[in-house]
Amino acid sequence: MPENILEIKNLNKVYPDGTKALKNINFKAKKGEFIVVIGPSGAGKSTLLRSINRLSEPTDGEIIFLGENILKANKGKLRKIRRHIGMIFQGFNLVKRLPTVRNVLHGRLGYMSSIKGAFGMFDKNDVQKALEVLERVGLEEQAFKRADELSGGQQQRVAIARAINQSPSLILADEPIASLDPNSSQIVMDYLRKVCDEDGLTTIVNLHQVDIAKEYADRIIGVKDGEIFYDGSPRGLTDEVIQKLYRKKEALHA
Ligand SMILES: Nc1ncnc2c1ncn2[C@@H]1O[C@H](COP(=O)(O)OP(=O)(O)OP(=O)(O)O)[C@@H](O)[C@H]1O
């Protein structure tokens, strides 16, 4: 049986204004599993993903990652834990004026001293490794171009390369294709799935597109009103389940 990389127990998040964004979330993720989280706007997908590496602070519960409760970690410990979690954002979050390869090198910052990191003192091996990762996402020829000279889809592939270059155990991708056209979305999802499979990474991706979720996921988690509404195979996510997942509360008994 593959080991569980991540276990989320009774996770709750209440925002300061009283919004209950997550209500008693429980699930485990196995090594190498590619999980897609879907659900209507405002369901809590982003909050869930961002809670896992504490970009958003959960109110209570447990997040056990590689045997440690992330919610109990102090600042230093959290920094170490975050090395093992690659994050991919909708807006790519690259340093636009820097060359592509430098952006990929930023994946190593969590392993460097602050001084070396601040001065960008990467050694030859780091650069070689970054170039290899760029090759894995088909961007070896763009390595020395400024990041903002690349298309949106290419920039997201740089962000994937940066995350992979962290040597993570877990990848979290929050709406990675929300700002891309359908063709670029497909290419980005293909590369994301490929590199995560190659490295045996557990991956959790938030998506709005149910068809893409079904195409790429090993497992789909449907979130509605801060709760897990569906957790199972793409095949089990029938049209009926999808309709119920996306149906508004007031229409439930209509
Ligand atoms: N900083 C915040 N303060 C208060 N409420 C918030 C905050 N961020 C999110 N929320 C609320 O928490 C709930 C969950 O939001 P979240 O962004 O996690 O949903 P989502 O499923 O990712 O939505 P979308 O698909 O539109 O991005 C929503 O009701 C949202 O309005």
Residue 91 lies in a domain: no
Distance 22 CA to ligand 1 centre (A): 10
Best residue among 17, 19, 55 to mutate for probing ligand 1, ranked by most atoms within 8 Å of CB:
19
Residue 165 lies in a domain: no
Atom of ligand 1 nearest to the CA of 44: 18
Residue 130 lies in a domain: no
Q: Which residues pair with 64 in a beta bridge?
A: 7, 69
Continuous segment of H or E residues that includes residue 34: strand 34-38
pLDDT in tens, the chain (254 residues): 558 999 999 999 999 999 999 999 999 999 999 999 999 999 999 999 999 999 999 999 999 999 999 999 999 999 999 999 999 999 999 999 999 999 999 888 777 766 666 666 778 888 999 999 999 999 999 999 999 999 999 999 999 999 999 999 999 999 999 999 999 999 999 999 999 999 999 999 999 999 999 999 999 999 999 999 999 999 999 999 999 999 976 555 54
Strand ranges for 66-131 from DSSP E: 68-69, 85-88
Closest CA to 10 of 67, 69, 53, 50: 69
Residue 42 lies in a domain: yes
Residue 119 lies in a domain: no
Closest CA to 4 of 159, 214, 188, 219: 219
Largest CA distance in the chain: 64
Best residue among 45, 89, 209, 221 to mutate for probing ligand 1, ranked by most atoms within 8 Å of CB:
45
Distance 63 CA to ligand 1 centre (A): 20
Structural contact between residues 83 and 76, judged by C-beta atoms closer than 8 angstroms: no
Distance 128 CA to ligand 1 centre (A): 40
Residue 186 lies in a domain: no
What is the count of structural domains for the chain? 1
Burial environment of residue 66 by CB neighbours within 10 A (0 to 12, 13 to 18, 19 or more): middle
The protein residue whose alpha carbon is closest to atom 26 in ligand 1 is: 41
Q: How many Å apart are CA 105 and CA 123, to the nearest integer?
A: 10
Distance 42 CA to ligand 1 centre (A): 5
- For residue 18, the enclosing domain spans 1-83+209-254
- CATH code, domain carrying 29: 3.40.50.300
pTM: 0.93
What is the reported pLDDT for 251? Answer: 52
Residue 68 lies in a domain: yes
> How many residues appear in the chain?
254
Q: How many Å apart are CA 123 and CA 132, to the nearest integer?
A: 15
Lining residues, ligand 1, CB within 6 Å: 15, 17, 19, 21, 39, 41-47
Distance 91 CA to ligand 1 centre (A): 17
Residue 174 lies in a domain: no
Q: DSSP letters of 169-224?
A: SEEEEESTTTTS-HHHHHHHHHHHHHHHHHTT-EEEEE-S-HHHHHHH-SEEEEEE
The protein residue whose alpha carbon is closest to atom 6 in ligand 1 is: 15
β pairing state of 20-30 and 60-65: unpaired
